[in-house]
Amino acid sequence: MTSQKMTLAEIHRAVSAALQASNTSVGNAESVATALVAAEAAGHVGHGLHRLADYRAQAANGKVDGYALPSIAQSAPGALIVDAGHGFAYPALDVGLDELPAIAASQGIAMLGIRRSHHCGALGCSVERLADAGFIAMMMSNSPAAMAPWGGSRRLLGNNPMAFAVPLADGPPVVVDLSLSTVARGRVLAAKQQGEAIPEGWALDQAGNPTTDAGEALAGTMLPLGGPKGGALALIVEFLAAGLTGANFASEASSFTDPDGHPPGVGQLMIAISPSAFGGDAVLGRFAELAAMVAGDGDAYLPGRRRQASREAAMRDGIDVDAEVFDQIATISLRD
């Protein structure tokens, strides 16, 4: 068996049950399962089901607190702070996203900062939730050290993903989701798990040499997207997602994949903007005009459309779950 077709509902039940069997509360397991299934359905495989084994191991060992209850405080009219309590990031995001839209609608703009957090998966899925509710959204997260500053040799920066989404008047949101390394580290992790080589130009090994070996890449240094520009953007994320929120810097954070050690304690920052506060009802129409111009320019790519098409297909047809992941959840009952 190389893969097994499963519906999204079947996968969700199995992932939630597997997490509950690994020192995680029902509510937190449901939140994590929702996020992993959403990432997998959207084609973000590096942030999808391949993360389950690492999450389970870390929860079982106590590196992530599967029973953590995020706490939230409004520190200013437009500012929310969530303490994830060294638990999974997704329940903390859920708590913040329950309150952020109302504040953004009232204030015109609102920010959510999360501290003592963990791997937050596909940021595009989170910003799309806000865009679906009619808000412009930006999100960033720092992550364990994986890149040296441009011109440096020490791993001081994570691949520090960023995402952006805007609602349109006549269609699904435009969603930009990118890591600030040449590719997301999750894609290298997925390549290692599948025994595949990676393209040259993604990473360097520990000796600073280009490598196509995923294991050597994970032990070495990811290369920044766009050279010095990507390195500078990663530094900005470090200041905002970690320095501003009171989270660990990349160099202080432990691995998202190793089950041992102290909690990563990273941070996330999300910004929600109400279009009506700046330009009224015309804003979404103007956004749609620009999106149409991009989509109508030959083979130009409108960010988010491929992921949305992947999600629609997954909802309709299910997902082919590879053998390694299926074996992890095969003992879990998939019956209602």
Q: What is the pLDDT of residues 264-321, one digit of tens each?
A: 999 999 999 999 999 877 999 999 999 999 999 999 989 999 999 999 999 999 998 8
Compute the average pLDDT of residues 108-117. Answer: 98
pLDDT digits (tens, 9 = 90+) for 85-102: 999 999 999 999 999 999
- The lowest-confidence range among 131-135, 147-151, 156-160 is 147-151
Q: How confident is the model at residue 335 (pLDDT cuts 50, 70, 90)?
A: very low
pLDDT exceeds 60 at position 333? no
pLDDT given for residue 330 in this prediction: 64
In our burial notation (b when 16+ CB lie closer than 10 A, e otherwise), range 144-167 reads bbbbbbbeeeebbbbbbbbbbbbb
Asked if 210 and 225 count as a contact pair (C-beta separation under 8 A), the reply is: no
Task: Kindly state the tokens that stand for 158.
Answer: 């994570």
Q: How far apart are alpha carbons 329 and 53 in whole angstroms?
A: 10
pLDDT given for residue 269 in this prediction: 98
Percent of the chain with pLDDT over 90: 76
Compute the average pLDDT of residues 38-49. Answer: 92
Q: How confident is the model at residue 161 (pLDDT cuts 50, 70, 90)?
A: very high
pLDDT exceeds 60 at position 224? yes
Asked if 124 and 177 count as a contact pair (C-beta separation under 8 A), the reply is: yes
Q: Which amino acid is located at 334 in the chain?
A: L
Backbone phi and psi for residue 274, each to the nearest 5 degrees, phi listed first: -90, 115
Asked if 206 and 219 count as a contact pair (C-beta separation under 8 A), the reply is: yes
Q: How far apart are alpha carbons 251 and 278 in whole angstroms?
A: 39
Q: How far apart are alpha carbons 300 and 152 in whole angstroms?
A: 35
> Mean pLDDT over all residues of the chain?
92
Compute the average pLDDT of residues 191-220. Answer: 89
